[in-house]
Amino acid sequence: MATRLRLSGIRKAFGATQALRDVSVEIAGGEVHALVGENGAGKSTLMNVLSGGCAADGGVMELDGTPYAPRDTLEARRRGVAMIHQELSLAPHLSVWENIMLGAEPQRGGWLNRREAKAQARAALARLGYDHLALDRRAGGFSIAEQQIIEIARALRTEPRVLIMDEPTSSLAQADTERLFAVIRQLCDHGVSVIYISHFLEEITRLAGRYTVLKDGQSVGSGEVAGTTQAQLIRLMVGREVTELYPVRAAQSGQTVLEVRGLKAGSRLRQADLTVAAGEIVGVAGLIGAGRTELVRALFGLDKSTGGTVVLEGRDATGRTPGEGWRAGLGFLSENRKEEGLMLALSVAENTVLPKLGKFGRLGWLNRRGMESAAGGWIERLGVKARGPAQRVAELSGGNQQKVALARLLEYPARIFLLDEPTRGIDVGSKAQIYELIAGLAREGRAVVLVSSYLPEVFGMCDRIAVMRRGELVDCLPRGAWTEHSLMAAAVGTAA
Amino acid sequence: MNTRSLLAKLGPFLGLVLVIALFSIPTEVRGYFLTYANFKIILTQTVIVAIGALGMTLIIVSGGIDLSVGSGIAFTSVVGALLIQRGWPTATVVAAVIAAGAGIGLLNGAAIAGLRMMPFIITLGMLGVVRGAAKWLGGNETVNYDASVINNWMTTPDPAGWSLPAGAWVALAAAVGTAVMLRQTVFGRHIFALGSNEATARLCGVATVRTKILIYTVAGAFFGLAGLMQLSRLRQGDPTVAVGLELDIIAAVIIGGASLSGGMGTVLGSMIGALIMAVLRNGSQQMGWPTYFQEIIIGVVIIAAVFLDRLRQARSA
């Protein structure tokens, strides 16, 4: 079939981070083209470039033989490229038909032609086999699967030539997934090209005609899905050299200090069993959305657990508040440094001592000098590049901010560290320092749970590695028992 | 499902019935409270808040807020008084007062959409700017004039008769017009889309900047109309009038079921909300409750109404 979309040499940098180095993809008309890659391989950036969310720094895009460089999402839609995001973008208060027809309402002199609008919405839904949906009901009241269909129907209204779907099944039940696949096949029969992003290789095997693998911002392979094994895809996804960033540390483990049995928290964390001993670093790997963050949040008491038990140093500690978590010896580092982890407008000192602010007060008066000297000690010991403890955290670099966030756990002091993506978005130099710090904690006999999306980090740092998939902790084995290959296979749910 | 959605629609209405029932229990009050003459007084007292609530409904449904309404009402009523003083014909005065309100709204909308600033901040600033401008325009005192037909719009020749004042009819007509606009025009539906999910509205090609400016301008015209009714009631232009009235207006819209985060709200609800506030004031007066007690009661009702509304939302979600 003729080439619908051709990308070659696409580059895109965000500050110092090169998100896309050299990506070339070719997509035929009416095919399902799978785009696969690890977390952070550049899939989302590529799709943003394609759907007009941001402009590429270099490279060429052609749509049906004519140059294609959308300035915004609206222009992309007009040219026939539409994206269905992982987070749905419906107007929840509006009815089904209003959502489908939004921005293109049939009208005469400003007066809405309701009958015509509904007919067109009905027709768009009918193309998907969903013309039984109640057009007048609020879109927000439908299930995720149905909302997705409404969004696809809206995209169909503009007669798309390329439809991008980002992890469309991540929150769907099996039956809904099947129905969605039927819809996608139908679209392809009508000549629409679908770019399908998924971590679930079995879906790709069933649905896609061809694939492209992205790794570290580069397209590293593409071909026919038929005749390619899942193992081959995984090898393309993870094959990379591991740099020597990680401190050498003899594995040691003392008494069990954290014992989790059957922990549940809502629909995102369905089942987790885990034990961690003093002096041990346990990694939690898995894909984005697999429930890793939910696990540590529930452990710390930030999210309410709905089942299971947590035992901390021999004492039952199920269902606590974060305040009780601190007092029980837990320290939690948020993956979201800027919005949750730190108070950016406040000083290094205030950020460092907040959980134990009461200790710096006498009769309600804060001992500022005591706070600043405590923080000052950590600035020195962790090598934080700051003018002093009174400097606002917002003025520090990402790596130094993260050190301040860690200083809070050390100052309290925590005995069991729950670290969620501790090196996300920070420079290599700070990374090495943070790795050294974490290794030092283990040497001192503290326990560390390290959630990370970056496999080399998990392998470089951890004594044991747990893998989560779709809300369940599926396996926890010593590091030596895993290969990157087998770990990725466990994360995507295939036998390697 | 159907009974529930019916209940959701009737919610504010049931609140109104409840409030009326409350004041009908004590026998010493019931005798007068439930008369047509009192009903007429309540309706007349509702007019200004009701017209203001129409404009505010547009703004709140779109996810915005306007805190400058009280000042705008004072400003436009001073404008009206000055023009009557100069002998302008009534129709021109009416048009000019409404245009003055729309002008303030245009400024608000242009600043909010153009500078991409929070409506709360912009209109909080405009609250002071417009109030100051009203005092400046009126020479820091009330503006008096000899006579005008406008003075008759908030009264009826025979207080005991059946006829309603012109202002009440104007409010009713404006309410019907606004309801139709919100439901039947593309502009009206885009107001909901903007409040429900602005990013999506933009993605779908809705001209969000232009729509926002238009929303505040149309709302401003309503506030100008409310200023005209204020002028008619006082029979003079008073630059210090209607301080804090925007809070009553916002309360009416919220009691009527609108969501401060946008995307939800109805004209009927807002009108009933305005009536609930007026009935509470009127009833409390007749009970002989001191004003501080009225203030407490109205405050509690606002919180209770929104709390009940949230319960209802949670159950239907």
Residues of A whose CB is below 8 A from B316: 141
* Minimum-distance CB partner of B206 among A77, A90, A103: A103
Does the residue A319 lie in any domain? yes
Q: Would you kindly state where each structural domain of chain B is located, as residue ranges?
A: 9-316
Phi and psi of A92, rounded to 5°?
-65, -25
Q: What is the mean pLDDT of each run of 10 residues along chain A (496 residues)?
A: 88 81 92 86 87 89 92 86 81 93 89 94 89 91 86 86 87 78 90 89 88 89 88 77 68 87 91 95 89 93 92 90 91 89 91 87 82 93 90 87 94 94 79 90 94 88 94 93 90 70
Q: How far apart are CA A440 and CA A254, in angstroms?
A: 15
Whether residue A18 sits in one domain with residue A70: yes
Query: Would you state the pLDDT for residue B1?
Result: 44
Whether residue A272 sits in one domain with residue A185: no
Whether residue A207 sits in one domain with residue A262: no
Whether residue A275 sits in one domain with residue A188: no
- pLDDT tens, A437-463? 999 999 999 999 999 988 888 999 999
Residue A119 makes CB contacts below 8 A (sequence gap 6+) with none
Domain of residue A46 covers 3-238
Torsion angle of the four alpha carbons A59, A65, A71, A77, in this order, in degrees rounded to the nearest 10: -130
Q: How far apart are CA A40 and CA A14, in angstroms?
A: 13
Q: How far apart are CA A167 and CA A86, in angstroms?
A: 6
Whether residue A264 sits in one domain with residue A186: no
Q: Which of A192, A189, A228 is nearest to A212 (CA)?
A: A228
Query: Would you state the pLDDT for residue A240?
Result: 52
Does the residue A121 lie in any domain? yes
Cβ-Cβ contacts under 8 Å between A and B: the total is: 68
Q: What is the mean pLDDT of residues B229-234?
A: 95
Q: How far apart are CA A103 and CA A82, in angstroms?
A: 15
Look at residue B316 and tell me whether its pLDDT is greater than 70: no
As given in the structure block, the two tokens for residue B24 are: 């009908």
Whether residue A272 sits in one domain with residue A151: no
The SS3 of residue B317 is coil
Torsion angle of the four alpha carbons A50, A56, A60, A62, in this order, in degrees rounded to the nearest 10: 20
Would the CB atoms of B189 and A90 count as touching at under 8 Å? no
Question: What's the length of chain B?
Answer: 317
C-alpha dihedral sign at A264, A270, A273, A276:
negative
Domain boundary among A171, A204, A238: A238
Query: Would you state the pLDDT for residue B314?
Result: 62
Residues 180-239 in B contacting A (C-alpha not used; CB under 8 Å)? 184-189, 192-193, 195-197, 199-206
Q: How far apart are CA B123 and CA B130, in angstroms?
A: 10
Amino acid of residue B281 = R
pLDDT band at B235 (very low <50, low <70, confident <90, very high): very high
Per 3-state DSSP, chain A is made up of helix, strand and coil in percentages (nearest 5) of 35, 30, 35
Does the residue A249 lie in any domain? no
Whether residue A277 sits in one domain with residue A212: no
Whether residue A277 sits in one domain with residue A194: no
Residue A210: count of CB within 10 angstroms of its CB: 18
A479 touches chain B (CB under 8 A): no
Residues 118-177 in A contacting B (C-alpha not used; CB under 8 Å)? 140-141, 154
Whether residue A159 sits in one domain with residue A15: yes
Please give the C-alpha separations between residue B80 and each of A29, B132, B146, B244, in angstroms, as whole numbers. Answer: 66, 17, 13, 21
Does the residue A246 lie in any domain? no
B133 touches chain A (CB under 8 A): no
- pLDDT tens, A133-184? 999 999 988 888 888 889 889 888 888 899 999 888 876 777 788 888 998 9
Residue B176: count of CB within 10 angstroms of its CB: 11
Query: Would you state the pLDDT for residue B51?
Result: 98
Residues of B whose CB is below 8 A from A89: 197, 199-200, 203
Substitution target in B183, B184, B203, B209 with the highest count of A β-carbons within 10 Å is B203
A92 touches chain B (CB under 8 A): yes
Does the residue A243 lie in any domain? no
Query: Would you state the pLDDT for residue A241?
Result: 46
Whether residue A289 sits in one domain with residue A206: no
Contact B213, B110 (CB under 8 A): yes
As given in the structure block, the two tokens for residue B11 are: 């919610």
B17 touches chain A (CB under 8 A): no
The SS3 of residue A460 is helix
Does the residue A248 lie in any domain? no
Would the CB atoms of B192 and A91 count as touching at under 8 Å? yes
Look at residue B2 and tell me whether its pLDDT is greater than 60: no
Q: How far apart are CA A138 and CA A152, in angstroms?
A: 16
As given in the structure block, the two tokens for residue B36 are: 């047509």
Residue B74: count of CB within 10 angstroms of its CB: 28
Whether residue A306 sits in one domain with residue A221: no
Question: What's the length of chain A?
Answer: 496
Contact B119, B64 (CB under 8 A): yes
Q: Are strands A281-286 and A464-469 parallel, antiparallel or unpaired?
A: parallel
Domain boundary among A180, A208, A238: A238
Q: For helices B291-316 and B245-255, give the axis angle rounded to 10 degrees.
A: 30
A283-322 burial, b if ≥16 CB within 10 A, otherwise e? bbbbbebbbbbbbbbbbbbbbebeebebbbbeeebeebee
- pLDDT tens, A332-341? 999 888 888 9
Q: What is the domain-level CATH number for residue A38?
A: 3.40.50.300
Does the residue A347 lie in any domain? yes
Choice between B161 and B263, residue whose per-residue pLDDT is larger: B263
Would the CB atoms of B200 and A140 count as touching at under 8 Å? no
As given in the structure block, the two tokens for residue A84 are: 């269905």
Query: Would you state the pLDDT for residue A272?
Result: 95
* Minimum-distance CB partner of A110 among B186, B203, B263: B186
Whether residue A82 sits in one domain with residue A220: yes
Substitution target in A102, A107, A112, A118 with the highest count of B β-carbons within 10 Å is A102
Residue A78: count of CB within 10 angstroms of its CB: 13
Residue B164 makes CB contacts below 8 A (sequence gap 6+) with B40, B43, B44, B156
Residue A2 makes CB contacts below 8 A (sequence gap 6+) with A28, A29, A64
Residues of B whose CB is below 8 A from A94: 189, 192-193, 196, 263
Number of domains in chain A: 2
Phi and psi of A475, rounded to 5°?
-165, 145
Q: How far apart are CA A170 and CA A197, in angstroms?
A: 11
Nearest-Cα residue of chain A relative to residue B200:
A89
Residue A253: count of CB within 10 angstroms of its CB: 18
With respect to CATH, is domain B9-316 assigned 2.40.350?
no
Domain boundary among A192, A212, A238: A238
Q: What is the mean pLDDT of chain B?
A: 90
Q: How far apart are CA B257 and CA A83, in angstroms?
A: 34
Would the CB atoms of B197 and A98 count as touching at under 8 Å? no
Q: How far apart are CA A357 and CA A367, in angstroms?
A: 9
Q: For helices B90-114 and B69-85, give the axis angle rounded to 10 degrees.
A: 150
Does the residue A247 lie in any domain? no
Residues of B whose CB is below 8 A from A92: 196-197, 263
Cα B94–B100–B105 angle (5° rounding)?
130
Q: What is the mean pLDDT of residues B301-308?
A: 83
Would the CB atoms of B200 and A91 count as touching at under 8 Å? yes
Look at residue B282 and tell me whether its pLDDT is greater than 50: yes
